Chain A
């Protein structure tokens, strides 16, 4: 167990090195010149050349990468090419917003999908199962940002129940923040709930077919006890693994949801940076995201190990 954790953590820096080098290499072969993008279409060749020099784009690929790595060892991700703010500062401002959004969505997903999936799987073919499975199928085929737009249209613009978009301050004003979070969290969670529901249901069905469940049932164990003790523990293993993987997916999709709701999280920052050809900022977001996802998957694997020690070994 410990050696597995150690090996996985050791992989992280390697991944970050490869990814960051790949982004630098792509930039150097790119047909688009970041300096020209930053200055806009009316820029003179002389000003483009001057900016290239200041950004270090006139250096060789290895030299640029070496400089960036050198900064990294001093805990810096460089400065944004667009505005000059240190990338670390920019990301640090976005993280609380993205964390509030993504973690709320993750909790909502687990709270709705796991119990309903277990219940549906336990009574597969029943009325609840058929209804919930149909809803899940439809929910999975809706783009999250479109769900967000529809929620804004219905709940905010027509019914005026909840605010559609607005600044999320985090810590400054809790009730207002919570109100602003409802719609984005629902939009972000809906497809995740549907996919986790389907997985939990499928794994509950396969566990329910096992001999020891049949024996317990035949022995007269009440259905409710059966559901929440025997079945849940075993059916949860794939669900927890998926939940770990979903964190990464949620961060990715947050990049679309945040702009829809005008939230300045790391997703919005990355999208704006991509439009501005602001390579250091994009790179910073990629590295931070990949690290978070790797750690989350590792935590999910550790959790599975405790839920079902035997399954964890395979």
Chain B
């Protein structure tokens, strides 16, 4: 499964993927064991947890406040006092990056949750239950939605609603929702054809209960991998939108706003451009390595 870029996410047609197996019902211990066999993914998970903890707990770390200005030490290189140096107002770069990472994570979460809330329930419903007309109407609607690139949709939302990160990220989530719809619809449709579903239906089980007991376990596996890739692209989208001035507004630190001020000082202080970018890269790389491992496990290929 390949999911990338802003918005339009390509998932090869469901028939090309491996059939949904019992991964959902397999013991959690088994899934964890096959995850641990991916050496790289394990390293990525450790690095990611450390980065997330550092950013969430940064107020407790012995660092200057991210917005405390000190004009005595502007644009300094790395030193013991400021591990990553300072910016044009003498603010500690490390403290700002950690504070910015917190915003990135929150923004990516917002976009991912929006995508899941819009895409998954509709996908499960049409895949499992949908009559031909309902399926066609909902699927075409999502097809249409997919023809608007995520960043362009975010630009439209911001133009209409005002420059705020929340609006921009909700738009990114809406642009991601067709992928969630398609993946959950395909998985639900596969399950709906199984004979045990026919059996429970003939025993008079209610649709809602069947979806919860049978379908959810099978859909969860492909969705977890998709959710993590979406989260990674949420981080990239936040950076891009804030860089353009459409998301987080200065003086609040965001990886995007930090890059946009740093771009003016590119020649004299390139470290200010390099450092926030490396943080974005680190987060996205770790998440996508983990997502790839999860994808391998859920598609039944196991460890490489």
CA distance A44 to B246 in the complex (A): 25
Q: Is the beta-carbon distance between A143 and B155 smaller than 8 angstroms? A: no
Given the known inter-chain contacts A30-B162, A149-B259, please indicate yes or no for A255 contacting B151, CB distance below 8 A: yes
Q: Which of B10, B149, B270 has the most CB of A within 10 A?
A: B149
Q: Which of B140-168 contact A (CB under 8 A)?
A: 140, 143-144, 146-153, 155-163
Q: Which of B262-279 contact A (CB under 8 A)?
A: 262-263, 266-267, 270, 273-274, 277
Closest approach, in angstroms, between the C-beta of B47 and any C-beta of chain A?
12
Select one of B15, B153, B158 contacting A314, CB under 8 A.
B15
Given the known inter-chain contacts A18-B144, A274-B158, A290-B147, please indicate yes or no for A149 contacting B240, CB distance below 8 A: no
The answer to the question of B2 belonging to the interface, with a C-beta cut-off of 8 Å to chain A, is: yes
Given the known inter-chain contacts A32-B161, A249-B6, please indicate yes or no for A282 contacting B156, CB distance below 8 A: yes
Residues 46-78 of chain A: 1 if any B CB is under 8 Å from the residue's CB, otherwise 0?
A: 000000000000000000000000000000000
CA distance A252 to B281 in the complex (A): 20
From A19-27, A84-92, A175-183, A209-217, the one touching the partner chain is A19-27
Closest approach, in angstroms, between the C-beta of B257 and any C-beta of chain A?
13
Closest approach, in angstroms, between the C-beta of B2 and any C-beta of chain A?
5
The answer to the question of A2 belonging to the interface, with a C-beta cut-off of 8 Å to chain B, is: no
CA distance A314 to B146 in the complex (A): 20
Contacts of B266 in A (CB 8 A): 149, 152-153, 157
Q: Is the beta-carbon distance between B147 and A293 smaller than 8 angstroms? A: yes
The answer to the question of B294 belonging to the interface, with a C-beta cut-off of 8 Å to chain A, is: no
Q: Is the beta-carbon distance between A31 and B161 smaller than 8 angstroms? A: yes
Given the known inter-chain contacts A153-B270, A248-B7, please indicate yes or no for A279 contacting B159, CB distance below 8 A: yes
In the complex, which range does the number of interface residues on chain A fall in? 35 or more
Contacts of B262 in A (CB 8 A): 149
Q: Which of B102-157 contact A (CB under 8 A)?
A: 140, 143-144, 146-153, 155-157
Select one of A37, A150, A241, A246 contacting B273, CB under 8 A.
A150
CA distance A15 to B142 in the complex (A): 10
Select one of A143, A255, A271 contacting B236, CB under 8 A.
A143
Contacts of A255 in B (CB 8 A): 151-152, 155, 244
Select one of A192, A260, A274, A293 contacting B149, CB under 8 A.
A293
Select one of B5, B150, B161, B259 contacting A26, CB under 8 A.
B161
In this complex, what residue of B is CB-closest to A292?
Answer: B147
The answer to the question of B8 belonging to the interface, with a C-beta cut-off of 8 Å to chain A, is: yes
In the complex, which range does the number of interface residues on chain B fall in? 35 or more
Q: Is the beta-carbon distance between B10 and A273 smaller than 8 angstroms? A: no
Total number of A-B contacts with CB less than 8 angstroms? 190
CA distance A143 to B276 in the complex (A): 11
The answer to the question of A141 belonging to the interface, with a C-beta cut-off of 8 Å to chain B, is: yes
Q: Is the beta-carbon distance between A203 and B236 smaller than 8 angstroms? A: no
Q: Is the beta-carbon distance between B159 and A282 smaller than 8 angstroms? A: yes
Q: Is the beta-carbon distance between A252 and B149 smaller than 8 angstroms? A: yes
Q: Which of B8, B239, B240, B284 has the most CB of A within 10 A?
A: B8
Q: Is the beta-carbon distance between A289 and B159 smaller than 8 angstroms? A: no
Contacts of B12 in A (CB 8 A): 199, 202-203, 238, 241
CA distance A146 to B243 in the complex (A): 10
CA distance A18 to B245 in the complex (A): 27
The answer to the question of A264 belonging to the interface, with a C-beta cut-off of 8 Å to chain B, is: no
The answer to the question of B4 belonging to the interface, with a C-beta cut-off of 8 Å to chain A, is: yes
The answer to the question of A303 belonging to the interface, with a C-beta cut-off of 8 Å to chain B, is: no
Nearest 9 Cβ contacts at the A-B interface: A252-B149, A32-B162, A141-B284, A26-B160, A249-B5, A252-B151, A141-B285, A274-B159, A146-B277
A–B Cβ pairs within 8 angstroms, 15 of them: A15-B144, A30-B160, A30-B162, A31-B161, A141-B285, A146-B259, A149-B273, A150-B274, A153-B273, A192-B5, A253-B6, A255-B151, A271-B155, A274-B158, A289-B148
For the complex with contacts A14-B144, A140-B4, A252-B5, 7 further pairs of A-B residues with Cβ separation under 8 Å are: A11-B140, A26-B156, A141-B280, A150-B274, A195-B5, A202-B12, A248-B147
